[in-house]
């Protein structure tokens, strides 16, 4: 990363809202994706039509923001944060933005904390999908499965989100965030989503194949398996998404 990027990003590296940010907090509104009323759905649908079926999806983009000062990938992490903040600041309401925020039962205040962080960089409307802890699995139904241990919990929740997207005309998704990694998986150990993903990607399954993994990686697999096209993005960490496009 260049010195220019390092310096430009320095003030935002571990930015948290302070009392001086109070003036901005009402400029950004969060709406829970699964709780939209008919008026909000129609507004979302119209935005999707104007953006030719494309939305942005952000997966845990501020995850562990204050605890990675000694991360071995710090240079890459700083670049990710710089690009992330640039993208957030330049985003407009012309294309729907859906943010997946880690909000397991009992931690609902995380949504407001994230809104305050976002409000330093943007304004308007963002749609929110709460997730279970340590995963991008949406936390909408089967919430008593606190750690999303059961496959049914994963399938049911992704079906809810995928169903909403399909109902409102979503075709393509620019996906950003973290954590993106890859894992070698034998075909006999595939989940249904991984099996569908491997067929879409026309992967050779006669031996173990590299499947996107972790929070962002699993979201890619789940959304592709439900028929959505994933578009390239530089704003991913620690791996880059263009490896799987």
| Residue boundaries of the structural domains of the chain | 3-181+215-244
| Pair of tokens at residue 242 | 């263009």
pTM (whole model) above 0.75: yes
User: What's the longest Cα–Cα distance across the chain?
Assistant: 58
- CATH of segment(s) 3-181+215-244: 3.40.50
| Pair of tokens at residue 116 | 């305050």
Question: What angle do helix axes 3-10 and 74-90 make, rounded to 10 degrees?
Answer: 60
Spell out the per-residue pLDDT of the chain, length 245, in tens.
444 333 333 333 333 333 444 445 568 999 999 999 999 999 999 999 999 999 999 999 987 665 555 667 778 888 888 999 999 999 887 899 999 999 988 888 989 999 998 999 999 999 999 999 999 999 999 999 989 999 999 999 999 999 999 999 999 999 999 899 999 999 999 999 999 999 999 999 999 999 999 999 999 999 999 999 999 888 998 887 655 44
Q: Report strand pairing: 172-185 vs 124-131.
A: unpaired
- Dihedral through CA 139, CA 166, CA 151, CA 190, nearest 10? -140
């Amino acid at each position: 990363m260049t010195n220019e990027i390092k310096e430009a990003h320095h003030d935002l590296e571990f930015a948290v809202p302070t009392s001086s940010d109070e003036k901005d907090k009402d400029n950004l509104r969060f709406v829970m994706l699964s709780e939209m009323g008919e008026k909000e759905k129609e507004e979302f649908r119209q935005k999707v039509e104007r953006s030719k079926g494309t939305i942005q999806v952000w997966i845990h983009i501020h995850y562990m923001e204050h605890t990675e000062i000694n991360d071995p990938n710090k240079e890459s992490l700083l670049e990710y944060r710089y690009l992330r903040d640039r993208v957030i600041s330049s985003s407009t309401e012309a294309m729907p933005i859906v943010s997946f925020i880690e909000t397991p039962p009992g931690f609902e205040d995380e949504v407001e904390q994230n809104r305050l962080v976002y409000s330093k960089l943007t304004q308007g409307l963002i749609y929110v999908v709460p997730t279970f802890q340590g995963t991008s699995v949406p936390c909408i139904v089967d919430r008593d499965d606190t750690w999303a241990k059961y496959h049914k919990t994963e399938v049911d929740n992704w079906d809810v989100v995928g169903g909403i997207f399909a109902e409102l005309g979503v075709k393509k998704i620019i996906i950003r965030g973290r954590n993106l990694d890859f894992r070698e998986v034998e075909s006999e150990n595939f989940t249904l989503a991984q099996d569908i993903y491997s067929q879409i990607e026309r992967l050779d399954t006669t031996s173990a194949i590299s499947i996107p993994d972790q929070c962002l990686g699993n979201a890619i697999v789940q959304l592709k398996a439900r028929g959505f096209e994933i578009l390239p993005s530089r704003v991913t960490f620690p791996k880059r998404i263009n490896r799987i496009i």
